[in-house]
Structure 1
Amino acid sequence: MKKFGLFCLLVFTSLFSFAQHKCFFTHYSSEDGLSQNTVMNILQDHKGNMWFATWDGINKFNGYSFKTYKARQGNLISLTNNRVDRMYEDRYGYLWVLTYDNRAHRFDPRTETFEQVPATGEASTYNVLTIEVLPNGVVWLLTEADGAIRVRTDADTYRLSTDTYSVKSGLFPATRVYKAELDQSGNEWILTDNGLGLIKKGEKKMTPYFVDAKDGREHADQAFYGFAESQNELFFASDRGRVWRYNKKAQRFTLLELPTKSAVADIAVVHSSELVAATETDGFFTYNLKTEKATHYSHIVCSDFPHVPVRSIYVDKKSEVWFEQELVGTVAHFNPSSKILKVEKMRVEPGSAYRGHPAFHIHEDSHGTTWVHPYGGGFSYFDRKSNSLIPFYDDLDSPDWRFSNKMHAAFSDRQGNLWL
C-alpha cells in the first residue's frame, strides 16, 4: 500500500453533494518540497499561507512552493526538536509550536526566527503539554506538573513577559492546569487540579476560588475540567457531579449538583438555555436553565453509549453535541432538540502495531459541513438528513477508495479546500 503524505482536496461543487464525488485531488509530498511526509498539524495564517507541522520542521506553502524552517547543523535556529506536533497562530501573527520534546517555541514569520518560551534557563525544562492561544493575545503554556506559564506580548515591541502559576512559584497552588479560557468580558480563567484562577481584564493579579485551604472551608480543594458560557452565567465542570455557576453581574458562585458521583468531564451550552454536562464514567446530563430540570442519559438508559471516559464535548453550529471518547472508530452524538442519541461505529483499516492511535478531531468548514475523525480512524462527514457519518473516499469496500481513513489532521481553509 502506498503511503501518502499530504493531500489538498479542492472541492469545486457544494460540499453537500458528496454523493456525486465531484472533487479534485492534489497530492503533495517530499517530492514537491515538503520537508517530511508525516504531517501532524495544519493551519492557515491571517495572510492566507498554509503551514504544515511535520516530523522534520514546519513548512510554509504559498500556493506554489514550500519553504521549510528547521534546525540544521550550523544554522542559528533555536528549535530544540524538529518534530513539531502542534502549531497555532496568535493575534500578532506569530506561530507557536509544540515540539516532540515538550518544549514551546514562538516563530516570527517576518524574521524567520524561533525563540524558546520560556527562554533557556528560565524554567525551560518544564514539560509543556498544551498551548492555549487566547483571542486577547495572551498565550498559556500548560505543563505536566509545574502549573501553567502565562505569556504576554507587548503590542508595540512584541517582547515577551512570562509568569508561572504553580505551587513552586507561589503564585497559584496547583500542579496541573487543565484549561485556560477567555470569557466574553475579557477575563482569563484557569481550570486546575486545585481550584479556579481568575485574572480580570486589564489586571495582573490572579484571584483564586475553591483552592485547598487550611481553614477547612467547604468546597475547597476541587479540580475543574470544563468551561461554558451563556449570556448571564459562566459554568465550570468539577468533581462529584458538581457544576459551579458564576453569575456575571453579581460575581457570585452557586452550586448545581447533578445526581452522580462521577467527575463532570466537560460542559456546553446549547440553544442558549440548555446545559449539556458529560460525566467521565456515568453518561451525560441535559439541564434546562429555565425550568432547572435535569435529564440523565446514563449507560443503563442508553446502553449503546460507550462505557469509556468522555474526554471532551464539541457542539457544532447546528447544536449537535459530539463526545470525544477513546474507543477506536466509535463516536457518539446527541441532538438536544430531537433527544436522539446515536452511536456510530466506523470501520477502521487494519494496521501494524504502533505506539498511539490517531486522536479524535472534529471541525466545520465554510460550507457548514461537519468533519469527524473518531479516535483511531474512520474519517467521515456528517449527513444531517440521514443523521449518519459517511466515509469520505476512504470506505474500505469502495472502488473509489483513495487514502487511509486514519488522519493526524484535517483542516478546511477559508477558500473551502479540505487538507488532509
Structure 2
Amino acid sequence: MHPVEIEPRRLLVIEPCEECRGLFPRLRAAGWLVESRSLVDAGLHPCQVGMLCFHSGLLPRLDEIKAVIASNVAEWVALVSAKDMSKAKLCDFISEWFFDFHTMPVDLERLLVTLGRACGMAHLREQNDKCLADESHELLGESASIRSLRKLMEKLGSTDSPVLIRGESGTGKELVARSLHRTSARVERPSVAINCGAIPENLIQSELFGHEKGAFTGAHQRKIGRIESADGGTLFLDEIGDLPMEMQANLLRFLQEMTIERVGGSKSISVNVRVIAATHINLEEAVAKGTFREDLYYRLNVLQVHVPPLRERIQDVPQLASHFASLFSVEAGRRPRRFSQAALLAMASHHWPGNVRELANRVRRGLVIAEGKQIEAEDIGLERVIKRPPLLGTLEDYKLRAERQAVGDALMQHSQNLSQAARALGISRPTLYRLLHKHQLSGAG
C-alpha cells in the first residue's frame, strides 16, 4: 500500500523567536511549507495559516497586526509567554483576532493539531467567501422558494420584456433587479435605479425626463434625466405604486413610444431601455381604487417575479446571517463572528416583519455589540427562546445540510487530504469528489 501524500500547507510565521525557529524542521517534516517574515512585510505573503510570535516590541503595534490579519483569509495562531498572557489588553486582542494561542515553551504535538484545525477552517472560510463573492449567488439560500426564484431569473435575464417585481419591503427586490440586468445582454450598458416614492412630486418630472437650461427657476444648465441616462441599459423603477397619477401618464407615453422630451424642450429623444418595476403594494387593488392606471399596469406587468418574505424561507436565515457577518465585519473593524445556538434558535423563531433588511441590520448591530467569540441572541436584539424552532425545511433540506456538514468536518479534520477524508466518511474518493462539487466545496489532493 502506497503512503498517502500530504499536500504542503502554507504557514507564515511572523517575528519568529529562537525557540520558534527551532520548530521549523519538524513543521516542514509534518507537511508545512514554512516561511518567516517580519511584521512589516507580512502582508505580501498569502498563507493558509499564520503564526505570530508575540514579544514586548509588538505590544504597541496591535493595529498593524490587526491590518495584516484582516487582509487575508488565513486563520492565525499566537505564540505568547505566560507572563504576557497576564496583560488584559493582549488577552482581549488574542481572543478577538486569533483562532487559538499557545504559551511557550511550545508543545509541538498540540501545536500541530491546532495548525491542522486552523488550516481546515481557513479552507472552508475561503470557499465560503468565494461563494458569497460570486455574483451568481447574490440570491442566497437553498429553500425551495429561493431556488425557484433563481431558476426563474435565469429565464428572464435574457429577455427584453418589462418585469414587475413584487414583494414586501426589505425582501430584496432591488437585488433581483440588479441580477436581471447582470444576466441580460445589456450588462455592459448602464443600470439606473429611481425610487418613485423618495423624490418630491414637484421634482420627479425633471428627475425622470431631464430638463433644458432655463426650463424653470433654478434650471441653470441642461440636465439629463434618469431615463435618458439608462439608454441602452436597464431602468429600475422602485416603488412604482407611489408614482403620482400625472407622472403615470407620462411614463405610459414613454413606454408606448420609447421617446422622451426634456422639461422645457420640444425635441423627441429616442431612448432604448428595458424597464423593471417593483412594488410592495397590491397594484390590482390600486387599479380598482383608481390610484394606479390600468393601462400602465398592463404595460409593466408583462413578466412577473414574486420575492418571498423571509418568514417563508426561515431555513435560509443562517446562511444569510453568515453572509452579512462577513460583509459587515470590515465595517465594524472586527473578524467575522459565528452565531451561538441560542442566537440561531432565536432567529429561527422570529417572524421577520422587516425581512432580509431587518436581518442585515440586526447582524450589523450584533457584530458591534458582541463581546464573546460568538454573537448571542441578545446581541441582535432577540429574546432567547425555550421552545423548539419550526422545521427548517423538508427532510431533503435536512439531509443536504447534514451531508455538507459531514464533508466540511472531514476536510477540517484531515486538513484537506481527500484520501483520508474519504476513508473517514466511509466513501470512495470519486464519491467525495462528487459531493465536493455538489456542495461547492473543494479540497487538496
TM-score bracket for the superposition, by shorter chain length: under 0.3
The higher relative CO (CA closer than 8 Å, separation ≥ 6) is in: 2
Give the strand-richer structure, 1 or 2.
1
Q: TM-score, normalised by structure 2?
A: 0.23
Q: Which has the larger radius of gyration?
A: 2
Give the helix-richer structure, 1 or 2.
2
Q: TM-score, normalised by structure 1?
A: 0.24
